Amino acid sequence: MAIACAVVTAAASGLLLPIATAPSAKAADDFRPQLVTVDTPSRAAKEKLAALGLDLTEHAGHDFTEVVLHRPADAIALQMAGLSWEVRIPDLVERESEVNAANRAYAAATATSPLPSGRDSYRRLSDYNDDLDRLASLRPGLVKKFALNHRSLEGKPVYGVEIAHDVTAAEDGRPVFLMMGLHHAREWPSGEHAIEFAYDLVENYGTDERITALLKKARVLVVPVVNVDGFEKSVNDGQLIDLRAIDGGGTGSILATPGNAYKRKNCRIVDGLTPLANECALASSPGGFGAGIDLNRNYGGFWGGPGAAAEPADATYRGPAPFSEPETQNIRELISTRQVTGLITNHTFSNLVLRPNGVAPDTVGPDGLPVGNPPDEAALKELGDRMAQQNGYTSQHSWELYDTTGTTEDWSYNATGGFGYTFEIGPDEFHPPFPEVVDEYLGSGQYAGKGNREAFLLALESAVDPESHSVISGKAPEGATLRLKKTFATPTWSGTIKDTLDTTMTVGEGGSYTWHVNPSTRPVVKARQIEVISSEPLKRQTYTGTTTPTQPSDQEFTVDRAADVLEVKLDWATPDDLDLYVFRKNADGSLSQVGSSTGSVGEKERVLRDDPEQGTYVLRVENWASVAPSWTLTASLYDATADEVGGVIENWTLSCEKDGKVLEQVPVVVDRGQRVKADLKTCAKKWGTS
């Protein structure tokens, strides 16, 4: 924890002034909401900051987190924690609604935007519902509107569309791709991109060979607004008053807007209780804090673990139980009843393509073993990298942004095996000027003609590729209902919940069927690889020194040979707190951070780097809260061997049914990229007599 002097920017002079004592009553009256950049160079440092209960934004890098200070007590909390920061915007309330003005100007000057729908402004909830109706009426043989199983807390239906060649036909075994938006209410572009992809597919079917072929091979589900209650409050308030500035990437002005313009969560006011009429609209949620449950921490997979808050007022509050909310129940049931072989859930912002898992692989999970990397890490990374090449985003693990549990892919990937990704759309704002929404979807600059549109198409192509999922084929009576089902325990961070996957298809003419499905064994129970480091190092170097507060100490270490692991350990004699950062020196002398460790007081620091590139590394020690700051630093190179832990094989139960009566059941074991044959001969024999 840094003892470094915290600073704020004096609005008038630009001078850096220390915060020393609690402000007077007059100073408190004069305090204006501020955007500050807090030094958080590691996951542990971010956890320290999160524990203060302040208004953290999602704009965070390797060594910083942007935070909104709404009152003097917020600044005092930072100071008392010993965290250092700088003010980026000293008075957010003075900012006028530049973005709303820019949007109005864009709409006035634009008859039809380049987007597939031609839209030139953000949609409200009624606009989304109208567009879903419009898509279904435009191509009734291609598009089918549907309502999800649960209405929202305020009683609103949640709608989506299914898009496919001969969409009204019975389920025919095609793989399913799911596109979602607006889990988080304030992230308006996430819904815009989802519905624009729907327009793209519908308008280009029959004329674009690529899209036509994809819609003959797949069924595409689009749910543009998952959090209908929260989004309605956000967009209604945000289009009336939005005290934001074009400030070069800062988020403070947008989060300082009063009301619900930047509401993050759903409309749950009290756990387990339905909100009263208009209660959610009146419960102001500046910066995403306040009432509500973070839907992207409420899914069952690893629910209750790192990166999900237990306190209801926190922005990442996970809720009282897994799947406690109708919105997450909707998505759970949608995925559990369809063979979703690929999905994208859209969010804003940070220009990222994130893949599972949500916690770092060396995190000890609820089973007492390291979580490890997903068994499909190589394939997940390959697709993520290809998508990022289209939009210029960074492809990375979710945990490399910060730890999360209870997210959509924490559950969906580990429960079904279907590949899932989070897109964090845009560089620096939750809902930027609308022209940026256009550019992010279609691509601009060197990514013109690509953008998220091309990335989405790559994801859809992966979802229909049999090498990315599994195939069951064989013979069964024409018109029979085939059912794939399994029930299992999904691990949370403190126990398990019961999950059931139950999907059906209808056997077509001729009695032959082909069913594109997810693997029978869930990723969460498959054997996973963890690295076991050799006992003797290939190379080791030790450094000693003393670091005073605010003055980092750098040492250089050269990786001059092939090695599986670079380990850097920081130790000191006192029970105080030092932190460790590891950088790789680039050819131009600049530094790229490749690892960090910032534990709590008394916890020693350690950084591991797999397959380190050869070259020079800078090892940095910072004094966060040490009164006797002498330390020992050890850098070592090791060989490592892969050790396989866990691992079971699961099967689907395949049933052949007529009029709800089961005529035959067989177990089916099928892995990713595998095709198996299952001829249902007993069902055929019983078919005519049942």
- Measured CA to CA, the distance from residue 397 to residue 102 in angstroms comes to 35
User: DSSP 3-state assignment of 568?
Assistant: strand
- Measured CA to CA, the distance from residue 136 to residue 114 in angstroms comes to 22
Q: Between 326-336 and 408-416, two packed helices, what is the crossing angle to 10 degrees?
A: 20
Cβ pair 55, 315 in contact under 8 A: yes
- Measured CA to CA, the distance from residue 367 to residue 489 in angstroms comes to 13
**Distance of alpha carbon 354 from its chain centroid, rounded?**
6
Biggest CA pair distance of the chain: 90
Q: Return all residues near 578 (Cβ < 8 A) that are at least 6 apart.
A: 547, 570, 572, 605, 621, 622, 623, 624, 626, 629, 631
Cβ pair 341, 516 in contact under 8 A: yes
User: DSSP 3-state assignment of 88?
Assistant: strand
Give the residue carrying structure tokens 């804090």.
Answer: 289
Catalytic residue among 66, 154, 409, 424: 424
Cβ pair 179, 452 in contact under 8 A: no
Judging by DSSP bridges, how do beta strands 64-69 and 34-39 pair with one another?
A: antiparallel
- Measured CA to CA, the distance from residue 201 to residue 177 in angstroms comes to 13
Question: Which one, of 415, 460, 433, 229, lies nearest residue 348 by Cα?
Answer: 433
Taking residue 321's Cβ as centre, other Cβ atoms within 10 Å add up to 15
- Measured CA to CA, the distance from residue 428 to residue 626 in angstroms comes to 35
Q: What is the CA radius of gyration of the chain?
A: 26
Q: Return all residues near 207 (Cβ < 8 A) that are at least 6 apart.
A: none
Element (H or E) spanning 412, and its range?
Answer: helix 408-416
Q: Between 434-442 and 188-204, two packed helices, what is the crossing angle to 10 degrees?
A: 50
Distances from the Cα of 479 to the Cαs of 171, 339, 473, 567, in angstroms? 11, 20, 15, 61
- Measured CA to CA, the distance from residue 647 to residue 375 in angstroms comes to 10
Q: Report DSSP letters for 471-539, one per residue.
A: EEEEE--TTPEEEEEEEEEEE-SSSEEEEEEEEEEE--GGGEEEEEE--SS-GGGS-EEEEEE-SS-SE
Burial class (CB in 10 A: 0-12, 13-18, 19+), 533: middle
- Measured CA to CA, the distance from residue 581 to residue 42 in angstroms comes to 8
Question: Which one, of 494, 152, 435, 528, lies nearest residue 306 by Cα?
Answer: 494
Q: Return all residues near 73 (Cβ < 8 A) that are at least 6 apart.
A: none
* φ/ψ of residue 434, rounded to 5: -60, -35
Active site residue 424: yes
Cβ pair 152, 328 in contact under 8 A: no
* Residues labelled as active-site residues: 424
